Every structure is written in structure tokens, then in C-alpha cells.
Amino acid sequence: MAGTAKTHNLRVDGSRLWATIAETARFGATPAGGLNRLTLSPEDGQVRDWFRDACQAAGLTVRVDALGTQYALRPGRDASRLPVAFGSHLDTQPTGGRFDGILGVLAGLEAMRALNDAGIETEAPLLLVNWTNEEGSRFAPAMMASAAYAGDFTTDEILDKTDAAGITVGDALDAIGYRGTDAVGDQAIGAFVELHIEQGPILEAEGLTVGVVEGGQGIAWFDGTITGFEAHAGTTPMPRRRDALLGLAEIALAVERIARAHAPTAVATVGEAVIGAPSRNVVPGLVRFTLDVRDPKSEVLDAIEAELRASLPAIAERRNLAVDLARIWRKEPVPFDPGVIAAVDAAAESLGLSRRRMVSGAGHDACNLAGRVPTAMIFVPCKDGVSHNESESATPADCAAGADVLLQTVLTLANA
Ligand code: GLV
Ligand code: MN
Ligand code: MN
Ligand code: MN
């Protein structure tokens, strides 16, 4: 086995990692400097091809499962051991940044390259993963491939999900050539570690480099429909109107009031709102909207849903509208594994990096993996805590520090 000193002193090549982030940012680049790389889009296909080629050039064996998730394996000395896995996602929001998800995958690739350069073999095999559709903005729910991996959905349930244009996940996979042949969940994993930008302001505000993530908060997603009546904007007196958009305005304000009543942890967002047949001179008769509610406690998710539902009949009655609110997804809060958390903490300690424990506000594939394998996450700061925005930014030094923590954590787990 490689000498312990040799592995402890191993560091990633921070400039190579940074160059790789820039190199892949051409796939789906937006004029404002961000990325629009919706899952299973042509741009997602391009970055997947790039990733496959880069992994193969690093000597990894790449497989693709029936939901398009890519697995790149580096053999270990002991083939009977389950691989230590790490990675994240390469898809983005429609106005996404260059780091959300991407950092975790490319830092994993950099870790593999650093091990190759140093000629280090690990005991357990290593597995780098690019999970399909983490973001959930084209196909709901978010993190669907890792959820299927963990057994929360069947593969067919996911393949049949549709986007706004009615295209199924299965057809979208075929369109970019990424419907693989491996059964989802067949690739065994011994432990999972995900590096990600924090996507919130805490590390930066406290001047810390590393977040040792102890778990993820709960998430509930809803689809809402408000039905009123389309009518002439010039002739319909105000009291006679059944304006679905004004119903949404009241509902959105109720959502804000209720979330604030569960401060400081709860957050709730109406992120999509579509008028059925939008026209400047028609009173909106139909509005569809989405709602995203999050809190670290299941009971708070329950309470927010109950309070919101209790407020709907009065709004509907006052405005003579029909309101339907369907919960389409719920992800319970997840605690991560104490052993993997401790390995992340020890890695940050050995690298002399400042750190704190924290709970993830964002959803991550790691939150699904945690249901099946020992899992934890590593966070690094992002500028002003901004994410899901084209201006998302992180420093080369923080990205390299996070990648070093990932590398040392993986070495600990794989050589234990
Ligand atoms: C995905 O990025 C989420 O946290 O909603
Ligand atoms: Mn992400
Ligand atoms: Mn995201
Ligand atoms: Mn996310």
C-alpha cells in the first residue's frame, strides 16, 4: 500500500481544476457569464460526452445506467470492496451558474487525476458519479435519478415523467443518446461524499473555508391551479371579475406570511407562475403555479402545509375562484452518517482549514444516497451566498481547498 505520508501530503492541482471548470463552462454558456444546461438538453449531452472522454483519458471505466447517470470507476487493490463514490451533477438551472453541481463532479475528476499523477492505488475502488437531473427545473422532482438509485422511485416511474412540452424523460434520454443499459441501483456503493458550493451566506459571513455538512433539510413541492373566468379587460367591472392572477397574488402573500411565522428556519417560494392564455386585454382566467417549501423539521413542513391549506378557502370564496393545490413531492429531512461526517472533519483538520458544522438548505443527490449508503457533504463558500443565478461565483482557492478535503476524505474511507 502507498505510504501514509505520501497520501496525506497529496494535494489536487488547483489550477488544473480551475481550468477544467472554465473548459466545461462553454457547454450552455449564457451571455451573462452563467450556464443554461437543462438536464438532458443538447448542451447536457455535450458536457456528458466531454466528461466521458475526460474520465476515459484518466483511465476510468465509464458506465451509464437506464436513467443516464454516469459512473466512472477507478479500480482498487481489493476488488471485493465496495467503491467509495463521490460526485454531483452537471445539469444547471435555466439561469444557473458555473459551480452548482459542477464543482463536485470536476473536483472528483481532479482527485482521480491527482491520484494518477502520484501513482497512488487505493484499497477500495473509487467511483465518480454524474447524477441525472439534480436540478428538477425541466423534469420534477429534483434529484430524481439518485432517488431512483436509492429505491424511492422505480425506473419506469421516472422515465415517464414529462417536461412542460410533454417530452418524457425516456425520450429526452434517447434524444441525447444517454439511455444506458445498466439497471438503476445495480452499481453498489460503499460510501458517498459530495462537494458543493454552500449556495448560502453562512461560510462567507463567518470567514470560514469548509462546511462539514451534517444533513439536509426537508423539501415539499406543490403544483397549484387557480381557475377563474376569462373576460374583457375593458368592459368587465372590477366587482364582477374572477381574476386568477389576483388569487395567486393573495396566495403568494399567504405563503410568505406563513413561512415567516416559522422563522428563522422555514423558507417558501412561488417560483413559477403561468397565465393560461396570457393577453394584455383579458382578465386572467387560469393560472398555474409551483410552490417550494423547506425546513429542517418534518413537523414544520406539516404545519406550513396545513396553515396554507386552511387559508385557501377564504381566498377562493372572496374572489369566486377554484383553487387546487397538489403536493407532488416530499423529501424528508436527512441526517448524514456520523462516520463519513467525521472523515470530512478530520480531512479539513489535517489540511488546517477553518470550518463549521452545518445543515444543507439546498437539496442534493447526497440527501437521497444517505437513505442507502453512509454519506456526507463538504461545502465551500460562494460569493455573497448567491446561487441559482448566472452571477454565482467561488474563488479558485476555495474550490481547490474543497477538492483537497474531498480527496483526503476519499483516501481515508478507501484505505480504512
Ligand atoms: C436544487 O438545486 C434544489 O435544491 O432545489
Ligand atoms: Mn446542486
Ligand atoms: Mn441547484
Ligand atoms: Mn440542488
Of the bound ligands, which one is closest to the alpha carbon of residue 130? 2
- Partnered with residue 65 across adjacent β-strands are 182
CA distance 356 to 28: 34
pLDDT at res. 5: 79
Residue with CA nearest ligand 1 atom 2: 135
Q: pLDDT truncated to tens, each residue of the chain (416 aa)?
A: 446 778 999 999 999 999 999 999 999 999 999 999 999 999 999 999 999 999 999 999 999 999 999 999 999 999 999 999 999 999 999 999 999 999 999 999 999 999 999 999 999 999 999 999 999 999 999 999 999 999 999 999 999 999 999 999 999 999 999 999 999 999 999 999 999 999 999 999 999 999 999 999 999 999 999 999 999 999 999 999 999 999 999 999 999 999 999 999 999 999 999 999 999 999 999 999 999 999 999 999 999 999 999 999 999 999 999 999 999 999 999 999 999 999 999 999 999 999 999 999 999 999 999 999 999 999 999 999 999 999 999 999 999 999 999 999 999 999 99
Q: Select from 331, 351, 376 the last residue of a domain.
A: 331
Map grid coordinates 420534477 to a residue: 140
Residue with CA nearest ligand 1 atom 3: 363
CA dihedral 50, 149, 363, 95 (to 10 degrees): 30
Do both 198 and 315 map to the same domain? no
Do both 205 and 234 map to the same domain? no
Do both 350 and 265 map to the same domain? no
pLDDT at res. 183: 98
CA dihedral 32, 34, 40, 46 (to 10 degrees): 90
Do both 246 and 344 map to the same domain? no
Of ligand 1's listed atoms, the one at least distance from the Cα of 93 is: 2
pLDDT at res. 2: 46
Distance 316 CA to ligand 3 centre (A): 33
pLDDT at res. 406: 99
pLDDT at res. 3: 62
Domain carrying residue 353 = 4-216+333-415
Please report, for the domain that includes residue 236, its CATH number. Answer: 3.30.70.360
Do both 238 and 381 map to the same domain? no
Give the SS3 label for residue 257.
Answer: helix
Do both 55 and 125 map to the same domain? yes
Do both 315 and 337 map to the same domain? no
Contacts of 86 by beta carbon, 8 Å cutoff, 6+ apart? 104, 108, 111, 126, 127, 128, 129, 192, 193, 194, 195, 406, 410
Pairs from 412-415 (Cβ < 8 Å, separation ≥ 24): 412/343, 412/346, 412/347, 413/84, 413/124, 413/190, 413/191, 413/193, 413/340, 413/343, 414/76, 414/84, 414/122, 414/123, 414/124, 414/125, 414/126, 415/1, 415/7, 415/122, 415/123, 415/124
Distance 237 CA to ligand 4 centre (A): 45
pLDDT at res. 397: 98
pTM as predicted: 0.94
- Give the number of domains in the chain: 2
Q: Select from 313, 331, 349 the last residue of a domain.
A: 331
Q: Select from 281, 298, 331 the last residue of a domain.
A: 331
Do both 205 and 224 map to the same domain? no
Probe ligand 1: pick from 135, 138, 197, max atoms within 8 Å of CB? 135
Please report, for the domain that includes residue 141, its CATH number. Answer: 3.40.630.10
Do both 148 and 284 map to the same domain? no
Residue 48's nearest CA partner among 102, 110, 100, 96 is 102
Do both 301 and 364 map to the same domain? no
Do both 232 and 121 map to the same domain? no
Do both 206 and 82 map to the same domain? yes
> Which helix or strand (DSSP H or E) is residue 325 part of?
strand 322-331
Contacts of 110 by beta carbon, 8 Å cutoff, 6+ apart? 12, 13, 16, 17, 20, 403
